[in-house]
Amino acid sequence: MKIYLDTIGCRLNQSEIETMARQFRAAGHEIVASADSADMAVVNTCAVTNDAASASRGKIRQIARAGVEKIVATGCWSTLQPQKAYDLPNVMHVISNDRKDHLIADVLDLSQKSFDLEPITREPLPGLHRRTRAFIKVQDGCDNQCTFCITTVARGEGRSRTVADIVLDIQSALDGGAKEVVLTGVHLGSWGYDFDSHLTELTKAILRETDVPRLRLSSLEPWDLSNEFFSLWDDNRLMPHLHLPLQSGSASTLKRMRRHTTPKSFRELVFAAREVIPNVAITTDIIAGFPGETEEEFAETLDFVREINFAGGHVFTYSPRPGTAAARMKGQVKPELRKKRNHILHDVLEESAIYYREKFVGRNVSVLWESTSEMGEQGWLMEGHSENYLRVNAFAPFPRWNEVDQVLLNETDGEKMKGVILKSG
């Protein structure tokens, strides 16, 4: 059969459809780039915000209109709303998150053992979801109950994959040509808690047992990290970029969010990281307009974000998710005020991001090229990310997709940097 795989939302969802592609190929099926030519499609849905849930439904309807008669819905939204998923056109199977590892066997009515993943390398997906970097799932679920979070509801309790399985996956991605591996999970920093280990040990094992050229860590909850954790960056294959969700800079708001961090401990962690990792990019996530957020609390968050001087990040307008404690809280902030606070926070965050980018004008970075477009006389316009996650553009005489080059950065260009390729590797 021709199989089309699609996803909405996080890197974990992307990593899961990359694994499904390997499993379908191991079971003798072909992965196609678009729904138009597919016999079956799998959509990995998302429920993190109302918009993501609605985009998931829209994606399924679009694939049905493209003529695919067998659609499989999986992921967070369809796990939370299975009946609504079955009500969508051509949905034949709804596979919940806890059955996702068995999805191929379930929808093809095969025993899990009937196909062997081993010989199948992990390759970039064809079409829209083609990525140079391999997203590797190391854990799933979360044991925390942050009051705004629906993911912990949809993904269940925290569970870690073994070092051996993760190293095998990474080796398969390297055999498939990947130059950068990104470790991902629902709560990445909790890897190993279920067998008395820690992400530090996993990272050491990956750096010891593979020759991965570039290893990147996805979002990390601040309370999982100790100052010793940063000594891992003695190995320069570990990318100097830490994404640490702050969510709020106000201690009282963090308490209502049930976050295991405070502005004080967050500040200490950031300073410890900057002490040890040269030029480290610290990015973040912040929620604007959390229930009960007063003008004073919002002002605390603004001051704190200015003080920390992040290299960038995302600001989310609080979105009440049915089934979360925060959605039932008193003092819901008016939607227009949430949006207004989002814009103010976004501008403050962007100010420090510009400051961080400008520090790299005139410096060399190593860039993995992720997309390319032909630009006539000027050659090919490449776009990619540096080791500290700067988005970089440069021209090349021929396409250099999935290649790593040394680049001299010579100017900032909005949210990107412009540079000149010095040499490859």
| Interface ranges with ligand SF4 (CB under 6 A) | 142, 144-146, 149, 151-152, 186-187, 221
Name the residue nearer to ligand SF4 (CB basis): 276 or 325.
Answer: 325
How far is the C-alpha of 284 from the C-alpha of 350, rounded, in Å?
12
Name the residue nearer to ligand SF4 (CB basis): 142 or 178.
Answer: 142
Name the residue nearer to ligand SF4 (CB basis): 161 or 187.
Answer: 187
How far is the C-alpha of 177 from the C-alpha of 368, rounded, in Å?
13
* H-helix or E-strand spanning residue 274: helix 263-276
Name the residue nearer to ligand SF4 (CB basis): 190 or 366.
Answer: 190
The burial of 11, by beta-carbon neighbours within 10 Å (0-12 exposed, 13-18 middle, 19 or more buried), is given as buried
CB of 68 to ligand SF4, least distance (A): 32
CB of 112 to ligand SF4, least distance (A): 27
CB of 149 to ligand SF4, least distance (A): 3
Write the CA distances from 277 to 69, 103, 146, integer angstroms. 51, 41, 29
For the chain, how far is it from start to end, CA to CA, in angstroms? Answer: 39
How far is the C-alpha of 125 from the C-alpha of 33, rounded, in Å?
8
3-state class (DSSP) for residue 80: helix
Instruction: Name the one residue in this structure whose structure tokens are 């072909």.
Output: 30
How far is the C-alpha of 130 from the C-alpha of 128, rounded, in Å?
6
Name the residue nearer to ligand SF4 (CB basis): 185 or 384.
Answer: 185
CB of 46 to ligand SF4, least distance (A): 13
CB of 144 to ligand SF4, least distance (A): 4
Write the CA distances from 378 to 386, 397, 404, integer angstroms. 22, 8, 20
3-state class (DSSP) for residue 26: helix
The answer to whether the CB of 233 falls within 8 A of the CB of 281 is no
CB of 134 to ligand SF4, least distance (A): 22
Name the residue nearer to ligand SF4 (CB basis): 187 or 241.
Answer: 187
